[in-house]
Amino acid sequence: MKFVDQVRISVKAGDGGNGAVAFRREKFVERGGPSGGDGGNGGSVVLVADPQLTTLLDYRYQQHHRAKSGQHGMGSDRSGATAEDLVLKVPLGTVVTDVSGTQLCDLSSPGQRCVVAKGGHGGLGNMNFATSTRQTPRFAQEGTLGEERQLVLELKLLADVGLVGFPNAGKSTLISRVSRARPKIAAYPFTTLVPNLGMVAYKNGRSFVMADIPGLIEGASAGAGVGDQFLRHIERCRILIHLVDLAAEDPDRSPVKDFQTIKRELANYSPALARKPQIVAANKIDLPLARKRYPRFAQAMKRRGQKVMPISAATGEGLPTLLDATAEALFRLRGAIGKSPAAPAPVEPSA
């Protein structure tokens, strides 16, 4: 399935139905008086977070969404029917903003709802305007118009752990080893073009979600490469695993330089992102060149106060220790595991 993480749509709530102007015309009912009913309310447009969805692809092809209008009032004191709300399902982690950049809601919990366009109110029929001095009102109230908005839907994946690093650092191999995710793996850069999510089953029934983000390069925060399109997806991650390729043969690169480059790109994109807890994993330790480079790299990281964990995503060497450290840091941050948050109340954007 094609991954789409940002779309622009227009929504229009239903208009309220008009009130009716009517009078009783019944046999044996003298001067029956006004009997025009009220108009029904228009349907609102509501976004609902659905954990079964993973992409905004549907909204790329259907960008205009309109709720039905309320029915007009009728005679004999009959009110028009209220229209049903138009419910649009979006993936968990969808942030909704209007075209001015004002955030309306952040749908991060299953079933969370956000009214993005309110339906119009139905108008009052003429039976509501009868008084002792105005017994035959020949007017009624029109329904109000439903709200209309231009919205930007932006998907930010919900994951506990985010994998960052240069292209071909081994992120896809790592997530395929520790979860059931099966991303495309090949010996050339930018193999991963979309984020991949995997559920890591840890000890004692505990688990956490890991996200493999497309590789970053120098200048990614300013638009270089493909990873800059997906930096938003690691903003929600609680911790990051920074994968460093110890066996890269590019003469212009070194493990220390790669580490500093990625850290700088994270800071340029978002200072808060750069401050997230990081676990540095020195990958491809099974290769002779990597083993030769590891002591010097580990010493350089130690001077920066950063512990390094040697691993091989290909052979599995060091992965149990990495998962232990990751789980310990993660569970310490998020507290008890397996507790579901209370269902959030519906959210309505401020006017």
Q: Which two tokens stand for residue 140?
A: 């009624």
Q: DSSP letter for 250, please.
A: -
Q: Is the pTM of this model over 0.75?
A: no
Q: What is the pLDDT of residue 126?
A: 94
**φ and ψ at 61, to 5 degrees?**
-95, -25
Chain position carrying tokens 């938003």: 232
**CATH number for the domain formed by residue range(s) 6-155:** 2.70.210.12
Domain ranges in the chain are 6-155, 161-334
**φ and ψ at 201, to 5 degrees?**
-85, 110
**φ and ψ at 274, to 5 degrees?**
-70, -25
Question: Helix, strand, or coil here: 128?
Answer: helix
What are residue 256's DSSP bridge partners? none
How far apart are the C-alpha atoms of 264 and 261, rounded to whole Å? 5
**CATH number for the domain formed by residue range(s) 161-334:** 3.40.50.300
Closest CA to 231 of 301, 174, 157: 157
Closest CA to 244 of 307, 194, 191: 307
Q: CA 222 → CA 153, 228, 261, 269, distances in Å?
A: 22, 7, 13, 8
Rg (CA), the chain: 29
Question: Helix, strand, or coil here: 118?
Answer: coil
Helix axes of 288-303 and 255-269: crossing angle, nearest 10 degrees = 50
**CB atoms inside a 10 Å sphere around CB 303:** 7
| Full pLDDT tens readout for the chain, 351 residues | 445 678 999 999 999 999 999 998 777 766 678 999 999 999 999 999 998 887 888 898 899 999 999 999 999 899 999 999 999 999 888 999 998 889 999 998 899 999 999 999 999 999 999 998 888 899 999 999 999 999 999 887 777 898 888 888 888 889 888 887 665 544 434 444 467 778 888 887 788 888 887 756 454 444 444 445 667 777 778 899 999 999 988 888 899 999 998 888 888 888 888 888 999 999 999 999 999 999 999 999 999 899 999 999 999 999 999 999 999 888 888 663 344 333 444 445 544
Question: Helix, strand, or coil here: 325?
Answer: helix
**φ and ψ at 223, to 5 degrees?**
115, 0
Closest CA to 48 of 7, 98, 101, 85: 85
Per DSSP, helices labelled H in the chain are 57-61, 171-178, 255-269, 271-274, 288-303, 319-334
- Do 70 and 14 touch, CB atoms closer than 8 A? yes
Q: What is the dihedral of CA 176, 182, 184, 189, to 10 degrees?
A: -30
